[in-house]
Amino acid sequence: MALDILSESPECLKSMPAYAKAFDEANYLFDRRRRDLLWKIDEKLFGEDKISQRAVELFYEQIDGLIRRRMETMNKCYKPNPEAGVDLLDLFLQSTQDVYTLRGMAFAFLSAGRDTTAYSITWLMKEIHHQDNKHLDAANRIRAKELGFISEFLSYGDAPKLKFANAMWDENARLNTVSPAGQMEAAEGDTLPAVPELNMPPRHIFRK
């Protein structure tokens, strides 16, 4: 699906496939459904159901086509090659051949990670530079003590070495959950666990 959007040519950034544009237009409606028990009525009342329905139809049309083409190649003796990289669709197909189930798996992966990641990074920057966290000297500590061991770009192998940065990220994810589902999970316990890398003991949550 990414090949329909991106290529080596910068010109690809000037256009967007219909299904991607429709999904962007309907994304806020899908998110609102989690908080609006009457979403079916509200969308119908304001004509928004046409926006969401078009997005669903176009998006699943792409996913279904992708799945069926892969299943056809599998019937022609196609075999996954792990050495060439992990293909999520190949992994999904190992568990089921049901197109309805496969399209749900694909959608779950494709729809996650954009807004939530952007929000999380924004909150992380806020926590790093917040006046109440000045004693951590987080930005300088990450630059000098953790990024000091590399001279170029980070690689996946460097991630485990960033203990302080990872601790900041974990703490940020606990304090600033970006999804309603995450907020419910975070509210289950009254005590946040200790974070040794930040010299923080377990903390009790005072509810209002």
- Residues 158, 150: contact at Cβ < 8 Å? yes
State the pLDDT at residue 5: 59
**The residue type at 23:** F
Higher-pLDDT residue of 127, 150: 127
**What string of DSSP letters covers the chain?**
-GGGT--SSGGGGG---HHHHHHHHHHHHHHHTTT-TTHHHHHHHTTTHHHHHHHHHHHHHHHHHHHHHHHHHHHTT----GGG---HHHHHHTT---HHHHHHHHHHHHHSSSHHHHHHHHHHHHHHH-GGGGGG-HHHHIIIIIGGG-SS---GGGGGG-HHHHHHHHHHHHHS--SHHHHHHHTS-SEEPPBGGGTB--EE----
Give the DSSP letter string of 34-77: TT-TTHHHHHHHTTTHHHHHHHHHHHHHHHHHHHHHHHHHHHTT
**pLDDT in the model for residue 42:** 92
- Residue 63 CB-density burial (10 A; 0-12 exposed, 13-18 middle, 19+ buried): buried
Is residue 80's pLDDT more than 80? no
Residue 53 pLDDT: 93
pLDDT attached to residue 107: 80
> What pLDDT was estimated at residue 141?
80
Least reliable range by pLDDT among 25-29, 96-100, 154-158: 154-158
Pick from 169, 168, 174: which is nearest to 191 by CA? 174
Please state, for a pLDDT cut of 70, what percent of the chain lies above it. 73
Give per-residue pLDDT as tens, 33-76: 877 889 999 999 999 999 999 998 998 898 898 899 889 988 88
Residues 128-170 have pLDDT tens digits of: 888 888 888 888 887 776 666 655 667 777 777 788 888 888 8
What is the bridge-based pairing of β-strands 203-204 and 191-192? antiparallel
Mean pLDDT for the chain?
77
pTM: 0.52
Across the range 116-127, mean pLDDT stands at 77
pLDDT of 1: 60
Q: 174-191, pLDDT tens digit by residue? A: 777 665 444 444 445 566
How confident is the model at residue 183, as a pLDDT?
A: 47
Q: Rounded mean pLDDT of 187-198? A: 64
Beta carbons of 119 and 167 less than 8 angstroms apart: no
